[in-house]
A and B are shown apart, each in its own frame.
Chain A
Amino acid sequence: MSPQGPSAAQITSDLTAPIFRVPSLAWFGAFATAAGLAGLMMACVLMYCIEGYGIFGVDNTVNWGNDIASYIFWIGIAVAGTLVSSVLLLFRQKWRTGVNRATEAMTVFAINIAGIYPLIHTGRPWVDYWLIPHPNDLALYPQFKSPIVWDVFAITGYATTSVLFFYLGLLPDLAAIRDRCPDTRIGRIQRLVYSALAMGWKGTASQWRHYERAYTQFAWVATPLVIGMHSTIATLLAVSVVPGWHATVFPPYFVSGAIFGGLAMALLLLIPLRTAFKLEAYITIDHLERLAKIMLAVGMIVLHVYLVEFFFAWYSESPSERGQYWYRLFGEHNLFFWVMILCNVVILQLLWFKSLRRNLAVLTLVGVAVNVGMWLERYNIIVLSLERDHLPSKWTAYAFTGWDYMLLAGSFGLFFTQFLLFCRLIPMVSIAEIKATLLNRHRQGANHG
């Protein structure tokens, strides 16, 4: 590598190397662990199909338990990926090119896991297709006035758009892999596959002209879609009368919380990724620091909403609302609330210090803490609200069963299984975009120097 940074050929070589290399033992170990956990999830879903919904901890009072809390958690992870890929693109933030591919992949993998939960939650997943607006056996359509149906539209639209956006971004890089495949038996098979996936991309001026327009257009489509999607999920709760849910602040609360948790997951993925695959020149400490800064900013918005929620409850003079927030602070499950505060508020404050923002161990600690905290936040919103609603005779205490634990652990397994495969099959940094950014910067630097 030259003092001015990597050359174009070096960038291609560095970023495609993992695809043509035999994976390390560490990768196989990580993949086996993740795939094993994903297998647990599949076993859990199979058992659920045989035994029914009763294997989980939900009951008539807390009928939204792990399913919906985890569903919102994974949706949140996805949202942050779209922020980096779309919103930063629209704001012309060139630094995003170092991290956008990994975060887009994170979006795609998180959204497909999120989609599994409501499909399970319906209780009869074999008739989930009834949610799609089509005349069913009784000539009935879904009720469009129901927020549950809004959710179907939101998730379907967002998931489809995320996958298409991800694929469009891959096209030039798939072509670059196609043209680098070695002339071996496996290399020839790889070439056929990558060539088909690259759709005959040649990189002509005409193609770039349309491609760039379509890519930016995707960002314009994905940005309102992602904000609308997560606001819809928040509205789904807010339009109900359950204490702790019935608040107009929910849509911005959910969107900022989603970005917060998703960026924490992005840090957790990028930090080991850059080390394991020697990508420090492309995913730099500056990238991680910028992500940490955004995380700190949205984390403070989340803190603000935490305070506003308590103010609303006090100001409402509603015994149920006040009781709900008192229950969160001092009820039998208050540990979840205080751990959430520790993770999302206290530990986050480390990021005010530049030296700590550039410390990988601290970033990893904050990433883990915020992920735990954000899952607990969703758990508190969903479960604790339902445990103490308006009717004291209904009050109950929700608890996970072994199947709930399996489902939750399995969802992480499935996520990391997909991500580990992604690391081996697709360049983890967008080759075309990083070249345009890095090489132009070097040239401008040379001109100025």
Chain B
Amino acid sequence: MVDAIKPLGQGPYAAGLFADEASFVAACRAARAEGRTDLQAWSPWPVHGLEEVLGLDRSLIGRAVFTVIVLGWLFCFALQFHLQVIDWPVVYGGKPYAAWQLWVVPILETGLLFGAIVNLNACFFTCRLLPDPFTVLPDPRLSDDRFALALAGTPAELAVWFKSHGADSVIAVEVEDVLAEPVFAPLAPRAGEVRAQEQAHA
């Protein structure tokens, strides 16, 4: 599936603000049905099913974390094997040097600890989160009770479209606000390429 909401950063952008979650989701669906790919959406809480509506891929965090957990297990096994068998073998409680059964707990815990640390950092990375004391949302109500959908165009051009889809107001938004993944934005396919790929899929 094409990551359809990777914005192209060409602007200008206008966002419709919605008071109702259902109207917001319907507007997102309508925008996608019209072939609009240069868009962004905000919500104050996670909206069930919005990923499918916007055509977003499943997050890769789960696979990344699982990989790191397995690597953590292997690392801890190798560490204990090296220390207990090679570096400083000690007979402890009459057990063999490589008493792997006694290594299970550190192995399990180390892998999960690594997974937890990577999980948080992967979330920061994929969401592009960094400590920023000056963050400003396009509208402060977006963290409260308003949903927003931004499309390429000026407020004047899009006012009728947004109003017809249930938006209660339309505001201009900065290109930086729309960029969901600025690090990879230059790598995002151009709008024409996206449509071509979608047509090819169809």
Contacts and interface: CB of A to CB of B under 8 A. Distances in A.
Contact of B133 (A143, A195, A221): A195
Interface in A141-197: 141, 143-147, 149-150, 153-154, 156-158, 160-161, 164-165, 167-168, 171-172, 175-176, 178-180, 191-193, 195-197
A447 to B, nearest CB: 10
A144 B80 contact: yes
Given A157-B109, A195-B132, A164 B144 contact: no
A275 B7 CA distance: 47
Contact of B62 (A133, A153, A217, A435): A217
Contacts of B50: 205, 208
B135 A144 contact: no
Interface residues of B, number: 70
B110 interface: yes
Contact of B143 (A167, A193, A200, A203): A203
Given A157-B110, A439-B21, A214 B43 contact: no
B88 A224 contact: no
Interface in B146-166: none
A200 B132 contact: yes
Nearest to B19: A8
A202 B46 contact: no
Contacts of A204: 40-42, 180
B16 interface: no
Contact of B79 (A133, A192, A443): A133
A436 B45 contact: yes
A312 B130 CA distance: 56
Interface in B102-119: 102-103, 105-106, 108-110, 112-113, 115-117, 119
Contact of A7 (B21, B41, B103, B145): B145
Contacts, number: 221
Nearest to B99: A145
B74 interface: no
B91 to A, nearest CB: 10
Given A145-B92, A209-B56, A432-B46, A202 B113 contact: no
A205 B5 CA distance: 9
Interface stretch (A47-55, A76-84, A225-233, A346-354): A225-233
A7 B142 CA distance: 14
Given A204-B180, A205-B40, A436-B45, A178 B135 contact: yes
A-B residue pairs, 3 tightest by C-beta:
A8-B145, A214-B123, A213-B59
Interface of A: 7-9, 12, 133, 139-141, 143-147, 149-150, 153-154, 156-158, 160-161, 164-165, 167-168, 171-172, 175-176, 178-180, 191-193, 195-214, 217-218, 221-222, 224-225, 228-229, 232, 235, 432-433, 435-436, 439-440, 443
Given A171-B129, A201-B135, A203-B137, 7 more contacts: A8-B145, A149-B106, A176-B144, A205-B56, A214-B119, A224-B108, A235-B105
26 contacts: A133-B83, A139-B88, A141-B87, A143-B90, A143-B92, A144-B103, A157-B109, A165-B116, A172-B143, A176-B143, A178-B135, A179-B137, A195-B132, A200-B132, A202-B142, A205-B40, A205-B41, A209-B59, A212-B59, A214-B61, A217-B62, A222-B116, A224-B108, A225-B112, A228-B108, A443-B21
